[in-house]
Amino acid sequence: MTEPVTNPPAPPAAPRPRKPGRGLRVALVLSVMLNLLVVGVLAGGALRGPHGGPPGLPGQPDIRALWRALPAEARADLRDMGRERGFPGERMPRPSREERRARADEINAGILAALRTEPFDAAAFSRLIDGDREALARRLDAAREAFAAEVAALSPAERQAMAERLQEYWSRRD
């Protein structure tokens, strides 16, 4: 009698490569978060300016500290004035978002055209990137005057409290 043919036992399957485990994913996420934190701290320090001095341009007052020292009601009044009515002395109301975008698109198109023009006209390019300095200066002057008028409208006690907040801020910063 013949024996039935049986297949020899199959060799054990090769182990499948393991997928990276949860621990590796967590480590990668933590690494990315730590890198972003370091980049954020470095960028914040660079934007803050040199240590020991006020942020902003040398020889200019620390407007951010002055703004923070204002009473909340005065800040709200200035915000409303700038948004709704425009500052006193401004000749034109603030353009709408669409108008500002259209103006930016027009300027950007001019810059691209100037870059592509041969021969290159450095004076025309300089005028394009200079923007409307006069309008900016008028707006800054009007904002400065409105800020001073708002401080002048404070009571002596409110101005004293503002001075105390400024002194506290500046001593903490040093």
**Which positions ≥6 away from 39 have C-beta within 8 Å?**
none
Q: What is the pLDDT of residues 94-105, one digit of tens each?
A: 678 898 899 889
pLDDT at 121: 92
Q: What is the pLDDT of residues 147-166, one digit of tens each?
A: 888 899 999 999 999 999 98
pLDDT at 155: 93
pLDDT at 134: 78
Arithmetic mean of pLDDT over the chain? 79
**Which positions ≥6 away from 92 have C-beta within 8 Å?**
86
Backbone torsions φ then ψ of 96, nearest 5 degrees: -70, 165
Residue 71 is classified by DSSP as -
Task: Give the number of other Cβ atoms within 10 Å of residue 69's Cβ.
Answer: 22
Q: Does 137 score more than 70 pLDDT?
A: yes
pLDDT at 63: 80
Q: Where are the domains of the chain?
A: 63-173
- The CA R_g of the chain, rounded to the nearest whole Å, is 32
Q: What is the pLDDT of residues 97-127, one digit of tens each?
A: 898 899 889 989 999 999 999 999 999 888 8
pLDDT at 86: 58
pLDDT at 42: 79
Q: What is the pLDDT of residues 34-87, one digit of tens each?
A: 787 777 777 776 666 555 444 556 777 788 888 888 888 888 888 887 776 555
pLDDT at 22: 76
